[in-house]
Amino acid sequence: MVKQRLEGKVVLVMGAGSSGPGWSNGKAAAVLYAREGAVVYAVDRDLDAARETADLIAAEGGQGIALRADVTRSGDIEAVVASVMERSQRIDVLHNNVGITEMGDPVEASEESWHRVIDTNLTGVFLACKHVLPVMLEQKAGAIINISSLASIQVNHYPYTSYYAAKGGLNQLTKAMAVHYAPHGIRVNAVLPGVMDTPLIYKQISGQFQDVEAMRAKRNAASPMGRMGTAWDVAHAALFLASDEAAYITGVCLPVDGGKSCAGR
Protein backbone atom coordinates (compact mmCIF):
# COMPACT_ATOMS: atom_id res chain seq x y z
CA MET A 1 0.00 0.00 0.00
CA VAL A 2 1.33 3.43 -0.97
CA LYS A 3 1.96 5.70 1.99
CA GLN A 4 -0.24 8.78 2.13
CA ARG A 5 1.70 11.98 1.60
CA LEU A 6 0.66 13.59 4.89
CA GLU A 7 0.20 10.48 7.00
CA GLY A 8 0.47 11.34 10.69
CA LYS A 9 0.64 15.09 10.04
CA VAL A 10 -1.48 17.77 11.71
CA VAL A 11 -2.71 20.52 9.39
CA LEU A 12 -4.29 23.81 10.40
CA VAL A 13 -6.31 25.41 7.59
CA MET A 14 -7.28 29.03 8.16
CA GLY A 15 -10.28 29.85 5.98
CA ALA A 16 -11.46 26.29 5.44
CA GLY A 17 -15.07 27.21 4.82
CA SER A 18 -16.73 28.39 1.63
CA SER A 19 -18.39 31.73 0.95
CA GLY A 20 -21.09 29.99 -1.08
CA PRO A 21 -22.12 26.67 -2.64
CA GLY A 22 -19.32 24.70 -4.25
CA TRP A 23 -15.63 24.20 -3.64
CA SER A 24 -13.62 27.11 -2.30
CA ASN A 25 -9.83 27.00 -2.23
CA GLY A 26 -9.81 26.45 1.53
CA LYS A 27 -12.45 23.72 1.54
CA ALA A 28 -10.76 21.79 -1.27
CA ALA A 29 -7.34 22.04 0.39
CA ALA A 30 -8.68 20.85 3.74
CA VAL A 31 -10.39 17.83 2.17
CA LEU A 32 -7.33 16.97 0.07
CA TYR A 33 -5.00 17.18 3.08
CA ALA A 34 -7.30 14.77 4.92
CA ARG A 35 -7.41 12.39 1.96
CA GLU A 36 -3.63 12.25 2.20
CA GLY A 37 -3.75 11.14 5.83
CA ALA A 38 -3.60 14.40 7.80
CA VAL A 39 -5.61 15.35 10.84
CA VAL A 40 -7.17 18.59 9.63
CA TYR A 41 -8.34 21.47 11.78
CA ALA A 42 -10.78 23.43 9.62
CA VAL A 43 -10.97 27.03 10.84
CA ASP A 44 -13.34 29.70 9.62
CA ARG A 45 -15.01 32.87 10.91
CA ASP A 46 -18.29 31.11 10.08
CA LEU A 47 -18.36 28.02 12.29
CA ASP A 48 -21.12 26.42 10.23
CA ALA A 49 -18.91 26.69 7.12
CA ALA A 50 -16.02 25.11 9.02
CA ARG A 51 -18.32 22.32 10.20
CA GLU A 52 -19.47 21.66 6.64
CA THR A 53 -15.84 21.08 5.62
CA ALA A 54 -15.12 18.91 8.67
CA ASP A 55 -18.26 16.88 7.95
CA LEU A 56 -17.12 16.28 4.36
CA ILE A 57 -13.81 15.00 5.70
CA ALA A 58 -15.55 12.74 8.21
CA ALA A 59 -17.89 11.38 5.52
CA GLU A 60 -14.82 10.17 3.62
CA GLY A 61 -13.40 8.49 6.72
CA GLY A 62 -10.90 11.23 7.52
CA GLN A 63 -10.23 13.27 10.63
CA GLY A 64 -11.57 16.82 10.54
CA ILE A 65 -12.22 19.16 13.45
CA ALA A 66 -14.07 22.47 13.01
CA LEU A 67 -12.99 25.56 14.93
CA ARG A 68 -14.00 29.20 14.77
CA ALA A 69 -11.68 32.20 14.49
CA ASP A 70 -11.55 35.64 12.96
CA VAL A 71 -8.02 35.89 11.53
CA THR A 72 -7.89 39.60 12.23
CA ARG A 73 -8.17 38.93 15.97
CA SER A 74 -4.97 37.74 17.60
CA GLY A 75 -6.82 36.27 20.57
CA ASP A 76 -8.98 34.09 18.31
CA ILE A 77 -5.93 32.60 16.62
CA GLU A 78 -4.13 32.12 19.92
CA ALA A 79 -7.14 30.17 21.21
CA VAL A 80 -7.26 28.01 18.08
CA VAL A 81 -3.57 27.13 18.35
CA ALA A 82 -4.01 26.27 22.03
CA SER A 83 -6.95 24.00 21.15
CA VAL A 84 -4.98 22.21 18.43
CA MET A 85 -2.00 21.71 20.74
CA GLU A 86 -4.22 20.37 23.51
CA ARG A 87 -5.73 17.79 21.14
CA SER A 88 -2.81 16.92 18.86
CA GLN A 89 0.37 18.27 20.51
CA ARG A 90 1.82 19.53 17.22
CA ILE A 91 1.17 21.53 14.04
CA ASP A 92 2.99 20.32 10.94
CA VAL A 93 1.33 22.47 8.28
CA LEU A 94 -0.26 25.92 8.44
CA HIS A 95 -2.38 26.79 5.40
CA ASN A 96 -3.37 30.47 5.25
CA ASN A 97 -6.30 30.85 2.88
CA VAL A 98 -8.44 33.76 4.09
CA GLY A 99 -8.88 36.59 1.59
CA ILE A 100 -11.34 39.26 0.47
CA THR A 101 -11.53 41.78 -2.38
CA GLU A 102 -12.98 45.28 -2.32
CA MET A 103 -12.88 47.73 -5.20
CA GLY A 104 -11.56 51.27 -5.04
CA ASP A 105 -8.51 53.32 -5.96
CA PRO A 106 -6.86 55.46 -3.24
CA VAL A 107 -9.30 58.31 -3.90
CA GLU A 108 -12.47 56.22 -4.06
CA ALA A 109 -11.78 53.62 -1.38
CA SER A 110 -12.60 54.45 2.20
CA GLU A 111 -9.96 54.15 4.87
CA GLU A 112 -12.17 51.51 6.50
CA SER A 113 -12.15 49.44 3.30
CA TRP A 114 -8.36 49.74 2.98
CA HIS A 115 -7.78 48.56 6.54
CA ARG A 116 -10.34 45.76 6.19
CA VAL A 117 -8.61 44.30 3.12
CA ILE A 118 -5.08 44.71 4.47
CA ASP A 119 -6.04 43.30 7.88
CA THR A 120 -7.80 40.28 6.39
CA ASN A 121 -5.37 39.39 3.59
CA LEU A 122 -2.04 40.32 5.15
CA THR A 123 -2.27 40.96 8.88
CA GLY A 124 -4.30 37.77 9.28
CA VAL A 125 -1.40 35.75 7.87
CA PHE A 126 1.04 37.59 10.11
CA LEU A 127 -1.06 36.76 13.17
CA ALA A 128 -1.48 33.09 12.24
CA CYS A 129 2.27 32.76 11.74
CA LYS A 130 2.96 34.67 14.94
CA HIS A 131 1.10 32.06 16.99
CA VAL A 132 2.02 28.93 15.01
CA LEU A 133 5.72 29.55 14.43
CA PRO A 134 6.70 29.04 18.09
CA VAL A 135 5.18 25.55 17.83
CA MET A 136 7.14 24.80 14.67
CA LEU A 137 10.34 26.21 16.16
CA GLU A 138 9.95 23.84 19.10
CA GLN A 139 9.38 20.95 16.68
CA LYS A 140 12.27 22.10 14.45
CA ALA A 141 9.99 21.39 11.49
CA GLY A 142 6.96 22.75 9.71
CA ALA A 143 5.53 23.99 6.43
CA ILE A 144 3.51 27.15 5.85
CA ILE A 145 1.45 27.63 2.69
CA ASN A 146 0.13 31.13 2.00
CA ILE A 147 -2.57 31.54 -0.64
CA SER A 148 -1.67 34.75 -2.44
CA SER A 149 -2.94 35.74 -5.90
CA LEU A 150 -1.71 36.43 -9.40
CA ALA A 151 -2.83 39.98 -8.58
CA SER A 152 0.28 40.17 -6.42
CA ILE A 153 2.43 40.35 -9.58
CA GLN A 154 -0.04 41.54 -12.24
CA VAL A 155 -2.39 44.51 -12.25
CA ASN A 156 -5.46 44.74 -14.47
CA HIS A 157 -7.75 47.69 -15.15
CA TYR A 158 -10.02 46.97 -12.18
CA PRO A 159 -9.14 49.19 -9.18
CA TYR A 160 -8.49 46.55 -6.52
CA THR A 161 -5.76 48.75 -5.05
CA SER A 162 -5.86 47.38 -1.51
CA TYR A 163 -6.00 43.79 -2.76
CA TYR A 164 -2.96 44.27 -5.01
CA ALA A 165 -1.07 45.82 -2.12
CA ALA A 166 -2.04 43.13 0.37
CA LYS A 167 -1.15 40.22 -1.89
CA GLY A 168 2.11 41.83 -3.00
CA GLY A 169 2.98 42.26 0.65
CA LEU A 170 2.07 38.64 1.31
CA ASN A 171 4.59 37.47 -1.29
CA GLN A 172 7.36 39.45 0.39
CA LEU A 173 6.28 38.26 3.83
CA THR A 174 6.47 34.69 2.51
CA LYS A 175 10.00 35.19 1.20
CA ALA A 176 11.17 36.96 4.36
CA MET A 177 9.89 34.18 6.61
CA ALA A 178 11.32 31.52 4.29
CA VAL A 179 14.82 32.95 4.59
CA HIS A 180 14.58 33.64 8.31
CA TYR A 181 13.23 30.24 9.33
CA ALA A 182 15.04 28.00 6.84
CA PRO A 183 17.79 27.15 9.37
CA HIS A 184 15.08 25.93 11.75
CA GLY A 185 13.56 23.34 9.41
CA ILE A 186 10.54 25.48 8.56
CA ARG A 187 9.55 26.03 4.93
CA VAL A 188 7.32 28.89 3.77
CA ASN A 189 5.83 29.07 0.28
CA ALA A 190 2.96 30.81 -1.49
CA VAL A 191 0.51 29.77 -4.18
CA LEU A 192 -0.68 32.43 -6.63
CA PRO A 193 -4.05 31.45 -8.16
CA GLY A 194 -4.96 33.12 -11.44
CA VAL A 195 -8.52 33.32 -12.75
CA MET A 196 -10.32 30.67 -10.74
CA ASP A 197 -13.90 29.40 -10.73
CA THR A 198 -14.72 29.40 -7.02
CA PRO A 199 -17.72 30.63 -4.98
CA LEU A 200 -15.87 33.84 -4.09
CA ILE A 201 -16.06 35.27 -7.61
CA TYR A 202 -19.85 35.02 -7.65
CA LYS A 203 -20.06 36.88 -4.37
CA GLN A 204 -17.37 39.56 -4.73
CA ILE A 205 -16.61 39.96 -8.46
CA SER A 206 -19.73 39.22 -10.52
CA GLY A 207 -21.21 42.64 -9.78
CA GLN A 208 -18.73 44.24 -12.21
CA PHE A 209 -20.44 42.48 -15.14
CA GLN A 210 -23.86 42.65 -16.76
CA ASP A 211 -24.48 38.99 -16.00
CA VAL A 212 -22.71 35.97 -14.59
CA GLU A 213 -22.15 34.34 -17.98
CA ALA A 214 -20.42 37.49 -19.23
CA MET A 215 -18.09 37.29 -16.24
CA ARG A 216 -17.38 33.61 -16.83
CA ALA A 217 -16.68 34.17 -20.52
CA LYS A 218 -14.26 37.03 -19.85
CA ARG A 219 -12.42 35.12 -17.13
CA ASN A 220 -12.17 32.00 -19.28
CA ALA A 221 -10.74 34.06 -22.13
CA ALA A 222 -8.15 35.65 -19.82
CA SER A 223 -6.32 32.33 -19.46
CA PRO A 224 -4.09 30.98 -22.25
CA MET A 225 -5.74 27.62 -21.57
CA GLY A 226 -9.11 29.16 -22.37
CA ARG A 227 -10.67 28.27 -19.05
CA MET A 228 -10.61 29.19 -15.41
CA GLY A 229 -8.90 26.95 -12.92
CA THR A 230 -10.63 25.26 -10.00
CA ALA A 231 -10.10 25.09 -6.26
CA TRP A 232 -8.60 21.63 -6.77
CA ASP A 233 -5.81 23.07 -8.91
CA VAL A 234 -4.83 25.29 -5.99
CA ALA A 235 -5.26 22.47 -3.48
CA HIS A 236 -2.96 20.09 -5.35
CA ALA A 237 -0.25 22.74 -5.59
CA ALA A 238 -0.58 23.40 -1.85
CA LEU A 239 -0.44 19.68 -1.09
CA PHE A 240 2.83 19.34 -2.99
CA LEU A 241 4.39 22.30 -1.16
CA ALA A 242 3.19 20.93 2.18
CA SER A 243 4.55 17.44 1.53
CA ASP A 244 8.03 16.04 2.02
CA GLU A 245 8.36 15.95 -1.78
CA ALA A 246 8.99 19.70 -1.52
CA ALA A 247 11.56 19.32 1.27
CA TYR A 248 14.11 21.54 -0.51
CA ILE A 249 11.62 24.17 -1.69
CA THR A 250 11.09 27.35 0.29
CA GLY A 251 10.45 31.00 -0.52
CA VAL A 252 8.64 30.13 -3.76
CA CYS A 253 5.63 32.09 -5.04
CA LEU A 254 4.08 29.54 -7.39
CA PRO A 255 1.59 30.74 -10.03
CA VAL A 256 -1.31 28.35 -10.63
CA ASP A 257 -2.79 30.26 -13.52
CA GLY A 258 -2.97 28.32 -16.78
CA GLY A 259 -0.03 30.35 -18.12
CA LYS A 260 -1.58 33.78 -17.55
CA SER A 261 1.51 35.13 -15.79
CA CYS A 262 3.56 34.34 -18.93
CA ALA A 263 1.15 36.06 -21.30
CA GLY A 264 1.16 39.60 -19.91
CA ARG A 265 -2.03 41.30 -18.78
- Report pLDDT digits (tens) over 163-217: 999 999 999 999 999 999 999 999 999 999 999 887 777 765 545 556 778 888 8
Give me the active site residues, please: 163
Instruction: Identify residue 241 by its one-letter amino acid code.
Output: L
Does 1 have pLDDT greater than 70? Answer: no
Average pLDDT over residues 30-56: 98
Average pLDDT over residues 248-255: 98
Is the pLDDT higher at 220 or at 137? 137
What is the structure's pLDDT at 13? 98
Residue ranges and CATH numbers for the domains of the chain are: 10-255 (3.40.50.720)
What is the structure's pLDDT at 21? 82
Q: In 42-78, which positions are buried (b, 16+ CB within 10 angstroms) versus exposed (e)?
A: bbbbeeebbbbbbebbeeeebebbbbbbbbbebebbe
Q: How far apart are CA 82 and CA 104, in angstroms?
A: 38
Q: How far apart are CA 265 and CA 47, in angstroms?
A: 38
Q: How far apart are CA 31 and CA 114, in angstroms?
A: 32
Cβ atoms within 10 Å of 4's Cβ, excluding its own: 14
List the one residue out of 121, 109, 213 whose CA is nearest residue 174: 121
What is the structure's pLDDT at 222? 85
